[in-house]
């Protein structure tokens, strides 16, 4: 009996010893000399919809605010000039560099799109070139109200007859029943589909839009009416804008963490690019700086960030290609409210 008791005591001692060691390591990491780790942890947690509490486990609101203030993005205060986009759907014979050749060289002249496997920082990613931008359409749930769920991108894509689809703008409390409604404007076929009200003159936001002739139009601080009057046919409110008229934003630190990223962009020749990155555990994803480098490498002239994290979905030929985080992976993609798709 004495031997059994000693073994039991030893087992408990080892377990509690390990717990103490883990606690010391966590404390040292979170409060030690490594600003990069601390910044990355806080900025990533605070960009999620449901995991902000992870930052608050270790830090006060004051400290979180201080860290966020040291990790920021300086935006570009101008709208995209769509007159600079000259759409050319024919395959090129001469290329500026190896990246342009990789993106634009087609196996068949009538190919609608091409998928590149790319490295975005330390994360795996997918860069999709869509050669005819006039075939890009908004995807959205059947109706917006406060009593319905959203819809998975894979289901929206199938319903619209899409070939390649991604998620779009943000939404409110998407994990709660009866609360999947857009955060900000949604413009569908030249009309404001959300918010559901008659006067849009006082509500402003950054709008990511597509014109009827296939040009990606980014508008800062615009109303729905202004966006429509400027030619936006499809649009969602989100951001930040990463490249405007060939000018890239300035990024300090990791203001958007390293969760999954989803971006829509356009080259000067009209080619639309979808960029989607992996990042299943919120620590192995790409930073916004990493995303920007890839966009610049492949010639993006205008580019905007879309909803990321668990919402990130890339669907090709009715299959979910990427691996969204946690519960979203189990259900075949998170329920969202808008998206973008190649609709032939």
For residue 11, what are the domain limits?
Answer: 2-72
Using an 8 Å Cβ cutoff, are 133 and 271 in contact? yes
Which pLDDT score is estimated for 35?
54
- The residue with greater pLDDT, 142 or 156, is 156
Global pTM value: 0.82
Question: What is the count of structural domains for the chain?
Answer: 2
53 and 83 assigned to the same domain: no
98 and 63 assigned to the same domain: no
47 and 27 assigned to the same domain: yes
- The full DSSP string for 135-199 is GEEEEE-S---TTS--EEHHHHHHHHT-SEEEE-S-EE-TTSTT--EESS-EEETTEEEES-SS-
Residue with tokens 């830090």: 59
Q: Identify the three-state secondary structure at position 22.
A: helix
265 and 153 assigned to the same domain: yes
Contacts of 82 (CB under 8 A, 6+ apart): 211, 215, 216, 217, 231
- CA dist., res. 294 & res. 303, Å (int): 11
25 and 8 assigned to the same domain: yes
244 and 262 assigned to the same domain: yes
224 and 284 assigned to the same domain: yes
- The residue with greater pLDDT, 334 or 1, is 334
- CA dist., res. 19 & res. 37, Å (int): 22
55 and 158 assigned to the same domain: no
Band of pLDDT at residue 231, cut at 50, 70 and 90: very high
Q: Rounded to the nearest 5°, which phi and psi values hold at 127?
A: -115, 120
Boundary (domain end) residue, out of 19, 40, 72: 72
What would the pLDDT profile of 123-140 be if each residue is shown by its tens digit?
999 999 999 999 999 999
284 and 306 assigned to the same domain: yes
Across the chain, mean pLDDT equals: 83
Which pLDDT score is estimated for 147?
65
Boundary (domain end) residue, out of 27, 53, 72: 72
62 and 79 assigned to the same domain: no
125 and 140 assigned to the same domain: yes
What would the pLDDT profile of 146-162 be if each residue is shown by its tens digit?
666 789 999 999 999 99
152 and 237 assigned to the same domain: yes
Boundary (domain end) residue, out of 16, 41, 72: 72
């Amino acid at each position: 009996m004495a031997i059994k008791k000693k073994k039991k005591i030893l087992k408990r001692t080892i377990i509690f010893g390990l717990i103490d060691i883990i606690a010391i390591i966590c404390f040292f990491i979170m409060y030690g000399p490594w600003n990069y780790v601390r910044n990355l942890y806080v900025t990533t947690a605070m960009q999620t919809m449901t995991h902000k509490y992870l930052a608050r486990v270790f830090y006060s609101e004051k400290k979180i605010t201080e860290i966020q203030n040291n990790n920021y993005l300086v935006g570009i205060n101008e709208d995209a000039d769509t007159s600079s986009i000259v759409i050319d759907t024919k395959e090129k014979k001469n290329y500026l560099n190896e990246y342009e050749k990789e993106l634009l060289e087609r196996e068949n002249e009538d190919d609608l799109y091409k998928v590149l496997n790319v490295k975005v920082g330390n994360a795996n990613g997918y860069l999709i070139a869509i050669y005819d931008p006039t075939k890009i359409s908004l995807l959205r749930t059947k109706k917006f109200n406060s009593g319905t769920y959203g819809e998975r991108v894979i289901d929206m894509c199938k319903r619209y007859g899409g070939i390649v689809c991604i998620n779009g703008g943000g939404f409110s409390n998407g994990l709660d029943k009866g609360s999947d409604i857009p955060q900000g404007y949604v413009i569908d076929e030249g009309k404001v589909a959300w918010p559901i009200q008659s006067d849009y003159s006082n509500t402003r936001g950054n709008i990511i839009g597509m014109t009827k002739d296939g040009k990606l139009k980014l508008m800062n601080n615009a109303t729905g009416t202004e966006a429509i009057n400027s030619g936006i046919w499809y649009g969602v409110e989100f951001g930040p804008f990463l490249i405007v008229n060939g000018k890239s934003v300035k990024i300090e630190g990791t203001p958007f963490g390293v969760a999954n990223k989803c971006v829509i962009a356009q080259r000067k020749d009209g080619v639309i690019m979808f960029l989607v990155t992996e990042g299943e555990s919120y620590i192995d994803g790409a930073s916004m700086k990493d995303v920007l480098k890839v966009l610049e490498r492949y010639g993006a002239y205008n580019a905007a960030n879309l909803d990321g994290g668990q919402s990130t979905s890339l669907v090709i030929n009715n299959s979910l290609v990427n691996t969204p985080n946690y519960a979203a992976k189990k259900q075949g993609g998170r329920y969202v409210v808008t998206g973008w798709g190649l609709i032939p």
